[in-house]
Chains A and B, each alone.
Chain A
Amino acid sequence: MTYRLTLCAALLAAPLVAPLAAPAQAGVPEALSAHILPGFAGFAQATETLAGAAQADCTAASLREPWMHAFDRWNAVADIHIGPSETGALPVAFWPDSRGFTPKTLTRLITGEEEVGRDPVAYADVSIAARGLYPLEFMLYDPDFWDYEPGSYACTLVQTMTRDLARQAAALDAGWEEQFADVLRTAGQEGNATYMGEDEAVRALYTQILTGLEFTADTRLGRPLGTFERPRPTRAEAWRSGRSLRNVLQDSKGAYDMAAALADWDLPQSKAALDRLYELAERVEEPSFQAVDDPSERLHVEILQQQVRALSDALELEIGLRLGIQPGFNSGDGD
C-alpha cells in the first residue's frame, strides 16, 4: 500500500471537502461502460486489424501503422491490473525488460527457426518476453531485426506474434465483458467472493488509476531520466518507435478518463492538470526521450514528470479525499 505522507500534508492544507456531508456517488458501472469495456473492445479490434495486415503483408514497413494504432488503443487500459488483466496485461506489455530478455528470446527463436514461431496457438506457451507489443516493436523498428524478407522465418514469426496478440486481446475483451465486469458490478452481493462491498470495487478501480500514474512518473519517465550525471535514454519505453512521450500522454489520459467515468461529479483540478500535461509535452523536443542528456531537454522531461504527479495529486484530492479512501495494495509494490 503506497502511503504518501507528504501528500497527506498537502491534502490537509487544501480546503476541506466534507467527506460525509453529502454522500458521494461513484460509478463502477459507468467506469466499465464508458471506459474499460470500450477500451478492451477497441484494443481487440485494433489487434485484429494488425494480425490481418500481417497476414496480407508481413514486412515491417507495412505493419508499423497498424501496430502504432494497436498500441494507442492499448494505452487506454494498459495500467489496469485486476480481473482478467491481473495476469493478462503482462504478456501484452512486458516492460521494463531490465535484463534484455526480449531481444535474447527473439534471437533464439529466429536463429533456431523454432517451430513454435509458426504456430499462433502453441505460441501462447512462449516466454512473455517474445509476446505482445514490445517484441513486435523490436521486429518492426530495431535495425537488427526489422529488415526481414517476405517468406522468411522472421516474417512468419511476425504473423504468429500478431495473431497471438489478437488472441490475447480477444481473451481480455471477453474476460472483462463476460465475467469480470459483473464481478465489479455485483460487488457486495451474495456470492461475490472478490468484492465484499461496493466500496471495495470503487477502491480497486481507484487503485488502478493512481498506480498507473505512479508507474508513468516513476518508470516511464523516471527510467530514461536516470540521474543528472547518468541519464539513461535507452531505458525509455518504446523509444525505438519514438512513442515514449505519446505513451506518457495516452496512459495519463487513460487514468484521467477512467477517473472521470468513475466520479459522477466534476474534476476541475484534475482536468486542468491533464490539460497542462499536454501543454508541457509540446516543449519536449525528442519524443523518444533520447535527448535527456541535454540539460534543457532533461528539464522539460522532469517538468512532465512533476505534472504527472500533480495530476495524481489532483485525483487524490478530488476523488480519494471526497470518498475518504486510500489506494489499496498494487502490483508495483515490489521492487
Chain B
Amino acid sequence: MKFLTTSALALTIAAPALADTDKAAVIETYADIAQAGYEDSLSTAKALQDAVAALVAAPSEDTLVAAREAWLAARNPYQQTEVFRFGNPIVDDWEGKVNAWPLDEGLIDYVDDSYGGATDENPFAASNVIANPTLELAGQEVDASLITPELIADTLNEADGIETNVARGYHAIEFLLWGQDLNGTEPGAGDRPYTDYVVGADCTGGNCDRRAAYLTSATQLLVSDLEEMAANWAEGGAAREEVSANADAGIVAMLTGMGSLSYGEQAGERMRLGLMLNDPEEEHDCFSDNTHNSHFYDGKGIQNVYLGSYTRVDGSTVEGPSLSDLVAETSPELDEEMKGKLDATMAALGAIKTAAEEEGFAYDQMLEAGNEKGEALIMGGVDGLIDQTRTIERIVTALSLEDMEFEGSDSLDNPNAVFQ
C-alpha cells in the first residue's frame, strides 16, 4: 500500500517548484476580494440604513417595501464573503455579530401564539424586549427603557450565553422588516404591516416607537460592524496582514474556508439538516424567503476565491492570480476537476434559485415532509458541495500543504531531504 506522504511528495517532485511569490500574489487577490466584498456589504448596508430611516420617518407600504429591497440587496455581497470566515479567526470571531442564526425572535418582538414560550434551552425565547421596558435576564433586572445599539450589543445579544438569543445582525433586522413567516411550508413570506412602525393611534403590534428604535439601532450596529471588517481587509488591516504573513498558511486558510463552508456549514447545517427536520424555520433567511439567494451567493463566494475573481455590486471586477492558477501549475487535471465541480454546485444552487424565483417554489416549501421535488433540489446542492469538498482536500495534498502542518512551512523548501 502506498500512502499519502509518498503520493503527495511524488506530486511535489513531479511539479515545478512553486516560488513563494506566486502564492503571495494569490493571497493578495484573495485579500483584495475580501476587502471589496466587505466594502460592498458596507455600502449596501448604508443604503439599508437610509431606507430604514425613511421607513421610520414616514411609515408606508412604499417605504417598507423599499427597506426590504435594500435588505435583500445588502445580502448578496455579504453572502459572498462567508467563505472568508472559517480560515480567518478574525472573521470567525466577529461573524456572530452580523449573521448569527437561527434565532429565537420572541426575544425581540411579538410572535404568534404558535411560537410557544420559553424553551428548555432558552428561558428568554419570548421575552419581547420591544414590549417590555424592564425585563429579567439571567437573574438580572435589565433597564430596557431606551433601546440603543449598546443595549442590543452588550445586554441582549447572546443573553445568558444562549446562542439563539440573536439580537443583532441581518436576521434580527430581517425579522423586524418581514415578521414571522406563518405560512409553514405553504407559499408566502413574513407579512409584517408597515403600521407596526406608525407612532400613535394607528400603531399595530404595540410599542411602534420602541420597534422603530430597535430597527434603527440594529441597522446602525450592522453598519459599524461591517466598517470594522472592511477596515480589517484594507491595506495594513489585521485580517489582511494575518493571512499574508506566511504564504503556505495563507493558502491553507483559503482552502480551509472553502472546504468548511462547503461541507460542515452549508451542506450540513444549513441545507441537509433543515431538510431532514422539515421545519420551515430551518431555512437561513426564513422571514424573507430569501434563502435561495443566501445559498447561491455562499456557493458563489467559494467559486470566487478559487477563480480569483469577484464581480462587485457596481459591476466592476476584482481579479488577479488565483488558486486555480496555482493548482494548474501542479496539476492541470486537478484544476479542471475543481472548476468542474464548482460549476456543478453552482448549477445545482442555481436550480434552487430558479425554482424559487421563476416557479414560485420557495425554499421553505421545498422543506415540506415528503416533497420529493424539493428534496431533490436541495440534495442536488448538498451533493455538489460534498463532492467539491473532496477535491479541495485533494488540492491540500497536491500542494503539499499537509506536510507544512507537521513540519512548518520551511520544510517544503527541500522535500528531497525526507528521502535521504
Contacts and interface: CB of A to CB of B under 8 A. Distances in A.
A164 B63 CA distance: 51
B268 interface: yes
B406 A11 contact: yes
Interface in A99-156: 99-101, 103-104, 125-129
B370 A125 contact: yes
A329 B263 contact: yes
A12 B386 CA distance: 32
Nearest to A131: B276
B3 A323 contact: yes
Contacts of A257: none
Nearest to B392: A329
B99 to A, nearest CB: 10
Contact of A323 (B5, B386, B408): B5
Interface residues of B, number: 57
A333 interface: yes
Given A26-B3, A199-B2, A100 B119 contact: yes
B4 A199 contact: yes
A326 B263 contact: no
A329 B116 contact: no
B1 interface: yes
Interface in B372-402: 386, 389-390, 392-394, 396-397, 402
B276 A329 contact: no
Interface stretch (B173-181, B252-260, B304-312): B252-260
A329 B272 contact: no
Contact of A1 (B9, B386, B396): B396
Contacts of B418: 19-20
Contacts of B160: 230
Contacts of A98: 121, 163-164
Contacts of A8: 405-406
B4 A335 contact: no
A91 B276 contact: yes
A334 B260 contact: yes
A324 B406 contact: yes
A163 interface: no
B225 interface: no
A335 B265 contact: yes
A26 B276 contact: no
Nearest to B104: A99
Interface string B243-278: 000000000100110011011111011101100111
Contacts of B266: 334
A324 B260 contact: no
A234 interface: yes
A158 B256 CA distance: 43
B265 A101 contact: no
B268 A20 contact: no
A90 B294 CA distance: 24
**Interface residue tally of chain A, by bracket?**
35 or more
A298 interface: no
B343 interface: no
A321 B405 CA distance: 10
Contacts of B410: none
A23 B1 CA distance: 8
B393 A321 contact: no
Interface stretch (A190-198, A270-278, A305-313): A190-198
Given A329-B389, A334-B260, A334-B265, A19 B163 contact: no
A303 B22 CA distance: 46
A167 B118 CA distance: 35
A202 interface: yes
A19 B5 contact: yes
Contacts of A49: none
A134 B124 CA distance: 25
Given A90-B273, A99-B119, A101-B277, A331 B268 contact: yes
A226 B418 CA distance: 44
B287 interface: no
Contact of A330 (B3, B264, B276): B264
A335 B269 contact: yes
B301 to A, nearest CB: 15
B255 A1 contact: yes
A138 B161 CA distance: 26
Which residue of B8, B161, B277 has the most chain A CB atoms within 10 A of its CB atom? B277
Contacts of B164: 98-99
A35 to B, nearest CB: 18
A227 interface: yes
B1 A127 contact: no
B116 to A, nearest CB: 7
Given A126-B369, A321-B406, A334-B260, A235 B116 contact: no
B102 interface: yes
Given A23-B3, A99-B104, 12 more contacts: A3-B256, A8-B405, A12-B408, A19-B418, A23-B1, A87-B276, A125-B369, A126-B278, A127-B279, A202-B3, A329-B393, A335-B269
24 contacts: A1-B396, A12-B406, A26-B1, A86-B386, A87-B276, A99-B102, A100-B120, A125-B369, A126-B369, A127-B369, A128-B276, A129-B277, A199-B7, A200-B394, A226-B161, A230-B161, A325-B3, A328-B389, A329-B262, A329-B389, A330-B264, A331-B264, A333-B86, A334-B268
5 closest A-B pairs by CB: A333-B264, A324-B5, A334-B265, A334-B264, A199-B4
